[in-house]
Structure 1
Amino acid sequence: MNYEYTNLRNSVEMHNKCCSGRMWCVKDICGIVCAIMTWLLIIFAEFVVMRVILWPSPYPVFSTINTIIFQILAFLAFASHLRTMLSDPGAVPRGNATKEIIQQLGFREGEVFFKCPKCCSIKPDRAHHCSVCNRCIRKMDHHCPWVNNCVGENNQKYFVLFTFYIAIISTHAMFLVINQFALCVKHEWRDCSPYSPPATVFLLLFLTFEALLFAVFTMVMLATQLSAIWNDETGIEQLKKEEARWVKKSRWKSIQAVFGRFSIAWFSPFTNPVSRSKYETQFYSV
């Protein structure tokens, strides 16, 4: 019986996993296309900024400083996107609503608990079922196709960092484009870019459109995420206007629950602030 249960659990836990179960990956075509588009747009912005604006610049100090800043921010944005996409957002194990697990969790006879009918799992407080991931996600905020994943308890920090760094590099790119237009108008167009004037104008205008669009979108998302964290209420809870059945954390505790204790690591996509108790691990994919 235990052997059959173990095999069943191992098989269902491979759902949304790749690389022999070592990595989380949602197999959604729309999300994969959106994620690839995001990478291509970041690469395009890097190409225009480096090849058209900074490398041909007659001011080496200006070019060097802005190259370092842009490359660091682009790397952090790309890393944050990958961490958001490839991190388990807080998926509840499918099919864990068995008599054995219920006894392990200490539920008494007659005690009420919630069970998800779609993935046959014990549904912890504040978990919601995602139809794309086909899993219940702890503290699910929303499913974002641009990162091909849910934003939940485990990866909200990375998503916030992704929107933060994209907003900064988009603003930086717009500053560089405006400066480049001024430089090209002041000097000969042929001398301000390795490409022809029409091609240079097209590349700069497209980058302006991309940067403006990304800046507005990510700033709105960043403000929404920070507001949700500040108020200890996820986006889906706000949308459904759910009555708070949980004890709300203080604002500082709510921020720490996402980012960890205050340090420079808040801004790093390579640190994970989430820690779990033995009790909580029964509600996670392990």
Structure 2
Amino acid sequence: MKSPVHRCRDVERQASNLQLDPCVPPPRLSDTGAMWFVRDACGIVCGVITWFLVFYAEFVVLFVMLLPSKNLTYSLVNGVVFNGLAFFALASHFRAMCTDPGAVPKGNATKEFIESLQLKPGQVVYKCPKCCSIKPDRAHHCSVCKRCIRKMDHHCPWVNNCVGETNQKYFVLFTMYIALISLHCLLMVVFHFLYCFEDDWTKCSSFSPPATVILLILLCFEGLLFLIFTSVMFGTQVHSICTDETGIERLKGETATWEKLSCWEAMKAAFGGPFSLSWFSPFSELTCRRTPLEQVPPAPPGDIIEEDVIEIPYER
């Protein structure tokens, strides 16, 4: 619970005074189709590192383990599997990075917009003073994206984007495919070491034995690290979807004011429909459940206002 002093810091405004707010008008419809990309230096560097590590694994797998192999079937099968998983991982990463995570239009906290919502007298909406927007239920402001994001789970620098309502599927697929190629790499490294120990090291790789060992050890370290990391992230995201509770909501201990979906219904909402192979494709589009601003419920009596929002009770 926050102290009464905190409540005094929040500015309460009537709808009749909103025309004085220095809000930027909402973007034109033609501007909303532009590609989403967050200009954050740390996120861009992390994104580049992610692609570099995948291409490093590609290099070691192909030129150290598969191409020098004498077993053509082994090379073809593992090459197809690894390259397929790597392709889907990078495609999922790109979609997670360049898909609007569910950003609320900036600058729509104007008197005209609120009046167009046709709110009932006494109904409460919430305004974010940082991006000057009316916040739907379960939206939170991201200081990196500088926008309010619907069902924001967290901001991930590895995809240089927030994980929210419209790109959570791609983030889940990214963590899943990275975990799978990491596991695949580790298994191939183990088999390659066993093969080289039984045979002459000069015959199991086109590189010198010291270079081969160094490349394989680095790949093993990378695969083990990212297998643990992405497996944990994958499990956390699936748990968040099944419980219909985002990471921020769980961290803040927010009481659910929304009607929670069952695990299966929440999975269908996050992945875009009934179960099918499209769930595993980063190229399939999805239709997400969005809470219209008109359906934002009134604040319950004695509700504590969040620090980053301003309560606006509507009066006709």
TM-score for the superposition, normalised by structure 1: 0.90
Secondary structure of the residue aligned to 2:140 is strand
The residue aligned with 1:156 is 168
Shift in Å at residue 102 of structure 1? 1.3
The residue aligned with 1:120 is 132
Shift in Å at residue 109 of structure 1? 3.7
Q: Distance between the aligned counterparts of 1:211 and 1:59, measured in 2?
A: 24
Q: Distance between the aligned counterparts of 1:171 and 1:22, measured in 2?
A: 36
Q: Distance between the aligned counterparts of 1:43 and 1:121, measured in 2?
A: 41
Would you say the 8 A contact 1:76–1:269 is kept in 2? Answer: yes
The residue aligned with 1:9 is 26
Letter in 1 for 2:165: E
Whether 1:231 and 2:243 are equivalent positions in the alignment is yes
List per-residue Cα deviations over 1:192-251 (Å, max 9, x = no partner).
111000000000000000000000000000000010101000011111111111111111
Written as runs of structure 1 = structure 2, the 5 A alignment for 1:1-286 is 8-10=25-27, 22-260=34-272, 261-275=274-288, 279=292
How many residues were matched structurally?
A: 273
Q: 1:257 to 1:219 in 2, by over 3 A?
A: same
Secondary structure of the residue aligned to 1:63 is helix
Q: 1:278 to 1:257 in 2, by over 3 A?
A: closer
Secondary structure of the residue aligned to 2:212 is helix
Would you say the 8 A contact 1:126–1:139 is kept in 2? Answer: yes
Q: Distance between the aligned counterparts of 2:89 and 2:295, measured in 1?
A: 32
Would you say the 8 A contact 1:56–1:193 is kept in 2? Answer: yes
The residue aligned with 2:300 is none
Q: Distance between the aligned counterparts of 1:168 and 1:135, measured in 2?
A: 33
How much is the aligned-residue C-alpha RMSD, in angstroms? 2.3
Q: 1:48 to 1:245 in 2, by over 3 A?
A: same
List per-residue Cα deviations over 1:124-149 (Å, max 9, x = no partner).
01000000000000000000000000
Shift in Å at residue 29 of structure 1? 0.1
More deviation, 114-123/209-218: 114-123
Shift in Å at residue 9 of structure 1? 2.6
List per-residue Cα deviations over 1:48-76 (Å, max 9, x = no partner).
00110011111000100100000100000
Shift in Å at residue 253 of structure 1? 1.0
Secondary structure of the residue aligned to 2:75 is helix
Q: Distance between the aligned counterparts of 1:282 and 1:199, measured in 2?
A: 62
Letter in 2 for 1:69: V
The residue aligned with 2:312 is none
Q: Distance between the aligned counterparts of 2:69 and 2:259, measured in 1?
A: 56
Shift in Å at residue 103 of structure 1? 2.1
Letter in 1 for 2:27: N
Q: Distance between the aligned counterparts of 2:195 and 2:225, measured in 1?
A: 24
Ranges in structure 1 where 5+ consecutive residues have no aligned partner: none
Letter in 2 for 1:48: V
Q: Distance between the aligned counterparts of 1:266 and 1:105, measured in 2?
A: 35
Ranges in structure 2 where 5+ consecutive residues have no aligned partner: 1-21, 297-316
Letter in 2 for 1:28: D
Q: Distance between the aligned counterparts of 1:235 and 1:184, measured in 2?
A: 45
Would you say the 8 A contact 2:136–2:292 is kept in 1? Answer: no
Would you say the 8 A contact 1:105–1:279 is kept in 2? Answer: no
Shift in Å at residue 254 of structure 1? 0.7
The residue aligned with 2:308 is none
More deviation, 71-80/245-254: 245-254
Letter in 1 for 2:180: I
The alignment-based identity, stated in percent, is 57
The structure with the largest helix share of the pair is 1
Shift in Å at residue 182 of structure 1? 0.6
Q: Which runs of 4+ in 1 moved over 3 A?
A: 275-283
Secondary structure of the residue aligned to 1:23 is coil
Letter in 1 for 2:277: I
